[in-house]
Structure 1
């Protein structure tokens, strides 16, 4: 973390200063536009949200650590923010600048209780990946095994609680969270739990072992790194080095391999949701690598969401009702999931148009590169905007929605051209 934001006091002041500045801008905007007409007010509000979004992104981006992680999580929950704010904070999902090696070395030695050159045969000083709460280095174990070592930035976990409170205060003062207090509490509880789990690499190690065991029994071409517990701790995670190609490279392979990979990604996610009842919920393309034999390597199990039997039952009923265009059941399920404010407000013909668009990639021979469902969906958004308040961002569905849409975009990047209908039925229809 940079010097000006490394101590709790300085971090607090920086965040408090951001919050005060946002509050001032919001009040000034209200006063300035007291006599403006509706169009002028909307324009001013949009400009205000752009400014505020950029200010949040710049402040959180500078600060690294837990507060940047909060920003990243907030950008994943973009349904609850105006588009201007969501767009600005989305840039927090990109890579963070690396931390000096001296700090990383000290953290490794403190966690493992021995000098770094005793723990590892060699340890690459330059990270090959840096993120918001830690960075990843290649290394070699004393027996010659090549590994990757994920090292958490010193002090990140301590800053977490106050960071989260400050960000929430800033967002509340802006008046940009579009949901009621009760739902806000549930969402921020989910963000807090997610942060707590990601900051504890022992939980990630357990996740890796559970998912590795689960997938090995079903498909040997789903590859999940092996944990080396004796070289791991709460803040250090040492894993087997599993090499593969990026999604960009895989997108150049022949269509049969791309389709096989696409099916494997969809099947793995479906199996996790419906059978394991826990799923890897960070579908960023950088968390996957691919081999020309159709293998898929999955990295980073810091973000895992557990689902109850009740939730899975709702999801299955919803999907089946969607395939039958049974609007009454769809609305009942959305109400049960806290995703609908009122029944009988969204027109039936729009429901049916959305169902066709949403189910198209899973029910016909679909060209993901052409992406017709997305383009038709964008046209439907314009027709649906005046009904938008009928739907609510539900804490129970946000991570599932985000993960499914992330994998959809992965299939687009891979240029999959396939009919996934049988796979869809295998996952949803035949098992209870």
Structure 2
């Protein structure tokens, strides 16, 4: 780790960080067990271990930090207070030095920030997994944010995935049944694309176009003349992150409104335009003072094959309208590989759909009591062999990341209401004018 806060890049440096973290974690667990048997308090130890865990992943940034962000969304993983420590990874990685940020901006845009902007804050608004964000103001008075990519982060991401592939081979996870390389490759490809800020600007514009009929959903717009491959300037939206909103203790009506907006923001573009924001951690959403929802960070936006979307939309249509639906034919149409007998496949799909469709089968659903994520995990453990024989296409990785993340956010919001009607309205819009054309 350099003094400037730049992440380690090479495979050995990054795997070394993980190994040291694992060693400390194992020692901490052992000591915790001893103290627990002795009847001693372990909360301080838990806080210390988790604080160190969050700090190291924050230093590493890249894919390693993204794993920490995913853990911070898991309502069942940790008590709320301890989960709050990990939640810092959503936007509070150790920042790199302001002088280095200025050097990157000048190298990318041809002038230092004080000449490019009427105002530029040296203190970051947020420090995320691939870059950090600074507040600024343009000469015309517009408030903007400037996202600056960490030096060497693309190499660091590649190193993380190379290490993951090596560990999978060492663990023997390369047989036909256990081979998950295509899913790792899909995730690697999408995360590497997040380091292309020109592509991210295009995706932001595309999302703004798709959500233009939704006045209560906001997409920051890129400022091309102040952007490049490694610097992205966007119009600023002020508000609280979704996590800050949740922590503020909103009333039931506010929680319901934000939950509805979240579903429309994540699921709406998927059904209407085959487009998905696939990084839905709470730091990527802002709730404004007037109650609108802003989407942030368009590095991880996935465009799906029309037939994949249509297969899922057909299922939703049958569920909402009470029509018959052949789930096995549907997953095959979506590109699933089914290497087991029909009865086993149908049995597995029936259990999956029973869990996944709970909010759709009642007019009042309470997400504060939702157990769909842990129940799906338990099903995966109980029928692991069957899951390995009903394999989704690689693109489903990003859908799972988005849908699972959205479900965790909804559970954290804990709203109670008619979620079925929200999905029904999304379906009615796609039936009246479906558009699964490819986007950015």
- TM-score category (smaller protein): 0.7 to 0.9
More relative contact order, 1 or 2 (CA 8 Å, 6+ apart) = 2
Question: 1:126 pairs with 119, 123, 128, which one?
Answer: 123
- Contact kept, 8 Å, 2:241 with 2:284, in 1: the verdict is no
Q: For the Cα contact (< 8 Å) 2:131–2:149, is it kept in 1?
A: yes
1:199 match: 195
Residue 116, structure 1, aligned to residue 110, structure 2: no
Matched residues in 2 for 1:341 and 1:428: separation? 32
Counterpart in the other structure of 2:231: 236
Corresponding residue SS for 2:298:
coil
Q: Which residue of 2 aligns with 1:331?
A: 328
Structure 1: unaligned runs, 5 residues or longer: 22-53, 78-82
Deviations along 1:185-237, one digit per CA (max 9) or x if unpaired, are x2233233213321111111111111112212x11110111211111111011
The alpha carbon displacement at 1:406 in A equals 1.2
Higher helix share: 1
Residue of structure 2 equivalent to 1:2 = 2
Q: Secondary structure at the match of 1:132?
A: coil
Supply the distance in 1 between the matched residues of 2:58 and 2:415 (Cα, whole angstroms): 38
The whole-number CA distance in structure 2 between the counterparts of 1:308 and 1:331 is 19
Aligned ranges for residues 126-145 of structure 1 at < 5 Å?
A: 126-145=123-142
SS in 2 for 1:395: coil
CA RMSD of aligned residues (A): 3.9
Q: Work out whether residues 335 and 341 of structure 1, in 8 Å CA contact, stay in contact via their aligned partners in 2.
A: no
Alignment of 1:4-83 (within 5 A): 11-14=10-13, 61=57, 64=60, 68-69=62-63, 72=66
How far residue 92 of structure 1 moved from its aligned partner, in angstroms, is 11
Aligned residue in 2 for 1:104: 101
2:242 to 239, 247, 266: 247
Secondary structure in structure 1 of the residue aligned to 2:357:
helix
**Cα distance in 2, alignment partners of residues 96 and 171 from structure 1:** 28
1:321/1:176 Cα in 2 relative to 1: closer, same or farther (>3 Å)? Answer: farther
Residue 274 (1) aligns with residue 268 (2): no
Instruction: State how 1:387-402 maps to structure 2 within 5 Å.
Output: 387-392=386-391, 394-402=393-401
Report the CA distance shift for 1:215/1:178 in structure 2 as closer, same or farther (over 3 A): farther
SS in structure 2 at match of 1:125: strand
Which residue in 1 is equivalent to 2:340? 342
1:309-357 Cα shifts (integer Å, max 9, x gaps) = 1111222234456676978x32233345336442335386665454333
Q: How far apart are 1:265 and its partner, in Å? A: 1.8
Given that residues 157 and 199 in structure 1 are in contact (C-alpha distance below 8 angstroms), is that contact kept between their aligned partners in structure 2?
A: yes
Distance of aligned partners of 1:326 and 1:378 in 2 relative to their CA distance in 1, 3 Å threshold: farther
Q: Deviations over 1:345-394 (max 9, x none)?
A: 53866654543332111231101112254576577567545644444464
> Which residue of 359, 362, 374 maps to 2:357?
359
Contact 2:5 2:96 in 1 (8 A): no
Describe the SS at the equivalent of 2:129: coil
Question: Aligned equivalents of 2:162 and 2:382: distance in 1?
Answer: 37
Q: Is the 8 A contact 1:325 1:355 kept in 2?
A: no
Is residue 224 from structure 1 mapped to residue 219 from structure 2 by the alignment? yes
Cα distance, 1:91 vs structure 2? 9.1
Equivalent-residue separation in structure 1 for 2:291 and 2:425 (angstroms): 20
8 Å contact from structure 2 (residues 282, 409) kept in 1: yes
Distance 1:148 1:18 in 2: 31
CA distance in structure 2 between the aligned counterparts of 1:320 and 1:394, rounded to whole angstroms: 22
- The 2-side partners of 1:5 and 1:245 are apart by 26
Matched with 1:369 is 368
TM-score, length-normalised on structure 2? 0.73
Q: Could you say if the C-alpha distance between residues 174 and 92 of structure 1 is closer, same or farther in structure 2, counting changes exceeding 3 Å?
A: farther
In 2 relative to 1, CA 277–244 (structure 1 residues): closer, same or farther, beyond 3 Å? same
> For residues 274-331 of structure 1, what are the alpha-carbon distances to aligned partners after superposition, in whole Å with 9 as ceiling and x for unaligned?
112111111101111113543111100010000111111222234456676978x322
Alpha-carbon distance between aligned partners in 2 of 1:130 and 1:330, rounded to the nearest angstrom: 43
Distance in 1, Cα, partners of 2:88 & 2:337? 27
Specify the alignment match of 1:42 in structure 2: none
Please give the alpha-carbon distance, in whole angstroms, between the structure 1 residues aligned to 2:373 and 2:184.
Answer: 30
Alignment map for 1:116-195 (pairs within 5 Å): 116-158=113-155, 160-161=157-158, 164-175=161-172, 183-184=180-181, 186-195=182-191
Query: How much does 1:242 deviate?
Result: 0.5
